[in-house]
């Protein structure tokens, strides 16, 4: 026989359950929580301060062979900490390609600065977004050959053509037998950035002989007449840009600096960003170029768990830093209507077990064990939400919510499923037995148990094509609400 203490606890629980008005009767959550309120916004001061700490300017090296592949994009800072890290998966978009695949620039090039006379020492560019270099025949000052080279380098926007003297490798080792270097950059530079005058010892030391130092002559700069439009990364869509304003929007997760304007690298950072405990995975990024005192300095990748748009692109810079080439990209979900916003049978309060985008299935003998509501107080965002557990508290069976159609997934590709689960309607302790299972083709890949406000949960899955996602749970009066469900592809 149960002890008096246990009997008292059970009686208190029954009284508590009886006091709860079920969702079907328009009861209100016992522990309301707006998890999207007070979402963080960008720390612009930290971005400006960090921009003053990084040095991403470089020129074609003295000791590296020409025609090297463009190296992977590098991360130079993360959330205010200077670093030097490559991005896995981003390098595929930054390698050299043949001219046949890239095609020629129809608009041509414009000379940005002229070389000094051959009799005078000059300097080459030390600038951001250096890609690679080649040497062209030094029989003449062959500008066209240098421009043709730029056409073959993915992301090339600018070339710096110059002679480099006293470079032992160019003079005696490399097969090209030329010292006319053509350096390719992913950004446009000007004459104020001609700061590499040489001065390196390239020749080997022989006895006590003086080693000649490198020096530069006839350095000119040529820029593409039109900038390359970046390819939109797989699993994203362009929201706005390019503009002169960066987003200043809620849901900010942090920022990284890149050594070049690489949209695919920024997408990889967004995909790999750790989930925020309140807002979940990164769903949007804003990439922009920071120009300080008229000179390109770094390339900012800001990440958000709430998608933004051009209406919040109102940060034009601070002090000497100016925002340029700002673009916003939103992550695409292969799940239509993950927020249940497609259910619009009323304009105040209503619910159903199924509609065009979702199907609710009750347990055998159950009643309304899986439903969809139009009622903003139940939703995390918007007006729609899904409910697991008998909506009228008619039984304690679980129910299942499933998208009406299989997902348009690609076989063999990885995806991350994210759902926001709220187990707080009845408050504690009634919600302590609440549970939700995430099923992928009938196999459990994630779960949530116990009392919680709307909280994100993720599961990484591999697609077989036309996959079936479903959510099972509910133990009325331990109801579980679902909202803002997404299925995002991961970059390969």
CA 156/CA 272 separation, integer angstroms: 27
**How many CB atoms neighbour CB 63 within 10 A?**
9
- The closest of 403, 420, 401 to 483, measured between CA atoms, is 420
Residue 50's alpha-carbon distances to 16, 45, 249, 256, 365, in angstroms, are: 54, 9, 20, 10, 62
How far is it, in rounded angstroms, from Cα 80 to Cα 82?
A: 6
What pLDDT sits at residue 100? 33
Instruction: Please say whether the beta carbons of 134 and 186 come within 8 A.
Output: no
In three-state secondary structure terms, 233 is: coil
The predicted structure's pLDDT at residue 96: 37
**pLDDT tens track of the chain, all 492 residues?**
455 444 334 334 443 455 799 999 999 886 555 556 678 999 999 999 999 999 999 999 999 999 999 999 999 999 999 999 988 633 333 333 333 333 444 469 999 999 999 999 999 999 999 999 999 999 999 999 999 999 999 999 999 999 999 999 999 998 888 999 999 999 999 999 999 999 999 888 888 888 899 999 999 999 999 888 999 999 999 999 999 999 999 999 999 999 999 999 999 999 999 999 999 999 999 999 999 999 999 999 999 999 999 999 999 999 999 999 999 999 999 999 999 999 999 999 999 999 999 999 999 999 999 999 999 999 999 999 999 999 999 999 999 999 999 999 999 999 999 999 999 999 999 999 999 999 999 999 999 999 999 999 999 999 999 999 999 999 999 999 999 999 999 987
Q: Which of 38-58 are b and which e, b meaning 16 or more Cβ less than 10 Å from the residue's Cβ?
A: ebbebbbeebbebbeebebbb
- Domain 336-489 class in CATH: mainly beta
pLDDT at 10: 37
pLDDT on residue 419: 99
Residue 29 has what pLDDT?
84
Nearest one of 317, 297, 280, 453 to 380, comparing CA atoms: 453
Q: Which two tokens stand for residue 71?
A: 């190296």
Provide the pLDDT for residue 34: 54
Please choose, from the candidates 359, 316, 306, the residue with its C-alpha nearest in 3D space to the C-alpha of residue 337: 359
C-alpha 111/C-alpha 252 separation (Å) is: 40
For the question of whether the overall pTM of this predicted structure is more than 0.85, the answer is: yes
* Ranges of each domain in the chain: 42-332, 336-489
Chain-centroid distance of CA 212 in Å reads: 48
Distance CA 338, CA 143 (A): 55
CA 466 to chain centre: 26
């Amino acid at each position: 026989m149960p002890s008096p203490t246990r009997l008292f606890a059970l009686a208190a629980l029954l009284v508590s359950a009886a006091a709860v008005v079920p969702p079907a009767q328009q009861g209100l959550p016992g522990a309301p929580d707006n998890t999207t309120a007070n979402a963080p916004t960008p720390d612009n001061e930290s971005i400006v301060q960090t921009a003053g700490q990084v040095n991403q300017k470089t020129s074609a090296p003295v000791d590296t062979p020409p025609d090297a592949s463009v190296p992977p994009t590098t991360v130079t800072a993360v959330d205010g900490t200077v670093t030097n890290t490559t991005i896995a998966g981003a390098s595929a978009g930054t390698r050299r390609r043949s001219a046949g695949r890239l095609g020629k620039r129809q608009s041509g090039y414009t000379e940005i600065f002229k070389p000094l006379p051959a009799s005078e020492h000059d300097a080459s560019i030390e600038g951001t977004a250096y890609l690679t270099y080649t040497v062209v025949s030094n029989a003449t000052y062959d500008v066209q050959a240098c421009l043709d080279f730029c056409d073959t380098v993915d992301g090339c926007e600018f070339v710096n053509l110059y002679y480099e003297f006293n470079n032992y490798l160019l003079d005696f080792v490399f097969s090209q037998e030329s010292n006319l270097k053509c350096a390719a950059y992913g950004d446009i530079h000007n004459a104020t950035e001609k700061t590499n005058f040489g001065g390196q010892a390239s020749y080997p030391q022989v006895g006590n002989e003086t080693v000649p130092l490198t020096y530069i002559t006839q350095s000119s700069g040529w820029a593409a007449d039109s900038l390359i439009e970046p390819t939109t990364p797989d699993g994203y869509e362009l929201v706005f840009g390019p503009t002169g304003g960066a987003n200043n929007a809620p849901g900010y997760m942090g920022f990284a600096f890149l050594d070049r304007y690489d949209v695919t690298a920024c997408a990889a950072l967004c995909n790999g960003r750790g989930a925020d405990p309140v807002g979940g995975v990164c769903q949007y990024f804003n990439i922009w170029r920071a120009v300080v005192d008229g000179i390109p300095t770094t390339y900012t990748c800001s990440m958000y768990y709430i998608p933004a748009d051009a209406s919040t692109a109102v940060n034009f810079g601070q002090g000497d830093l100016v925002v340029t080439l700002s673009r916003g990209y939103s992550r695409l979900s292969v799940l239509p209507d993950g927020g249940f916003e497609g259910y619009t049978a009323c304009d105040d309060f209503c619910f159903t077990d199924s509609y065009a985008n979702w199907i609710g299935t009750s347990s055998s003998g159950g009643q309304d064990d899986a439903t969809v509501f139009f009622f903003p107080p139940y939703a995390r965002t918007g007006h729609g939400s899904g409910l697991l557990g008998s909506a009228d508290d008619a039984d304690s069976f679980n129910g299942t919510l499933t998208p009406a159609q299989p997902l348009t997934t690609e076989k063999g590709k990885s995806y991350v499923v994210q759902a926001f689960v709220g187990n707080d309607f009845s408050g504690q302790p009634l919600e302590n037995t609440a549970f939700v299972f995430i099923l992928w083709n009938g196999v459990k890949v994630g779960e949530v148990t116990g009392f919680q406000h709307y909280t994100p949960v993720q599961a990484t899955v591999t697609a077989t094509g036309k996959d079936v996602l479903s959510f099972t749970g509910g133990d009325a009066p331990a109801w579980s609400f679902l909202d803002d469900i997404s299925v995002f592809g991961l970059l390969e």
